[in-house]
Chain A
């Protein structure tokens, strides 16, 4: 995936009706939001990712 397209779907209301509005393309605001999200992800992955993963052990449930 080389280009990021940030299309937010028109998910209004309780049910997903047949019609939906698709806003395609990349606006400045959504590009910023996306970059900041990726930066946040970087932070999480750079802080002790492997250790965190190894800490997550429980007995099985059902």
Chain B
């Protein structure tokens, strides 16, 4: 598939504390406070927004944004960043409300993957894949790539080892993966989840669900997750014969690769041979290179630069662009300045601050302002993505319907494939093609919306 649709679902961590850092509200109560404006409008804590994204409260009181479907990876990054801002506004409103009531309570939303008790939550990538061809070989080819991808796209962090020591790793999430492939997502932690609800034409597409990714703050890291995986999927779909890179043990390997900051430790393959994580990543990069078009050369270059940063130890390019390298540099500097080591709770506090989505106080935002983390997307593009769905996929249709319905005060229900008004006799409009951007039925629905209902200002 040359043109592919993808989406990103992010579960956010939530903590509500007093000025002294102790817990002020339990996550459930804090989440209810956070979603009050959402529920007031939609009578539900599960809504689709004018930009066609889904905003809801997930299992364990994790606020979640599922972006609209995008066929351009920078569109997707813009939608993901827009989602952060939408949530940040909810946080700001909730905190103001708590303050007005004289409560010593402040909510923080963290775009990360682990809490302090070791509970994990995810950043899930969705990719539409072609149903034709050998879907059965997909895991075997994709898994070695996904297991080692963290040396490029990992969010970085610290793990405590059994002896009480601490070490910096490419990804803390690696320790929370328990299975390679599965169709459940809450009982087990599979790297790939196979789902046959493609939210599209099931005769043409399947939906691939990748849950191994870290929640990434850096736009380059987020972009790379999708742009590189897209090329590997294209490789698989090409049907060409590929070298056998299946690992002997994905779950052991993903933990070892997380800890191997030089990318040089041999990882055992099923064949009995052994390759380092760098060698495995380089193989994939080399294999996809002939499949990349002119506009995608930048993906290959960025991928290569990321690998080179690990191979050579020269962080000068990576330390403003890749989350793990930005964080590594930050931890070293702060650690030296304050005379603390990686095991210190202050470093954990620093990690949480890094993922705090508060636009003023969140550390990643401050790093961008200080020029220590690159800003790639123009602010205007992110702002536009808050209210406008991508125009080149089906999201465009859903976005129009939701936007118009809200503006005209018309009750509506939408999901990924259908839209309908809440009226006696209203027929749902179904759009199965994720690439559809025009539909006579949707046009008719829009006409109905504009004809009926009382105008109301757009709230979100």
Residue numbers of A with Cβ under 8 A of B are 1, 4-9, 11, 13-18, 30, 33-34, 37-38, 40-42, 44-45, 47-62
Contact = CB atoms under 8 A, between A and B. Distances in A.
A30 B333 CA distance: 16
A57 B27 CA distance: 8
Nearest to A17: B298
A14 B378 contact: yes
Contacts of A54: 116
Contacts of B369: 33
A15 B74 contact: yes
Contacts of B167: none
B186 interface: yes
A19 to B, nearest CB: 11
Contacts, number: 149
Given A37-B366, A37-B370, A53-B352, A42 B378 contact: no
Contact of B185 (A9, A15, A62): A62
Contact of B349 (A16, A33, A53): A53
Interface in B356-374: 363, 366-367, 369-372, 374
Contacts of B366: 37, 40
A16 B302 contact: yes
A55 B23 contact: yes
A62 B320 contact: no
14 contacts: A14-B376, A15-B74, A34-B372, A37-B367, A38-B337, A42-B337, A44-B349, A51-B21, A52-B15, A52-B21, A53-B345, A58-B62, A61-B11, A61-B64
Interface residues of B, number: 64
A31 B74 CA distance: 31
A5 to B, nearest CB: 8
A38 B110 CA distance: 21
Contact of B22 (A30, A38, A47, A51): A51
A7 B315 CA distance: 12
A1 B336 contact: yes
B377 A1 contact: no
B54 interface: no
A34 B363 CA distance: 12
A13 B74 CA distance: 11
A1 B120 CA distance: 32
B375 interface: yes
Contact of A16 (B11, B21, B23, B220): B220
Interface of B: 11, 13-15, 17, 20-23, 27, 58-62, 64, 74, 110, 115-117, 119-122, 124, 185-186, 211, 220, 297-298, 301-302, 316, 320-321, 329, 332-334, 336-338, 345-346, 348-350, 352-353, 363, 366-367, 369-372, 374-378, 381
Contacts of A15: 74, 298, 376
A1 B335 CA distance: 11
Nearest to A60: B119
A48 B348 CA distance: 12
A47 B21 contact: yes
Contacts of B374: 8-9, 11
A31 to B, nearest CB: 10
A58 B378 contact: no
B121 A1 contact: no
A20 to B, nearest CB: 10
B120 A61 contact: yes
B333 A13 contact: no
Contact of B376 (A6, A16, A60, A61): A16
Contacts of B220: 16
Given A4-B333, A52-B17, A54-B116, A61 B298 contact: no
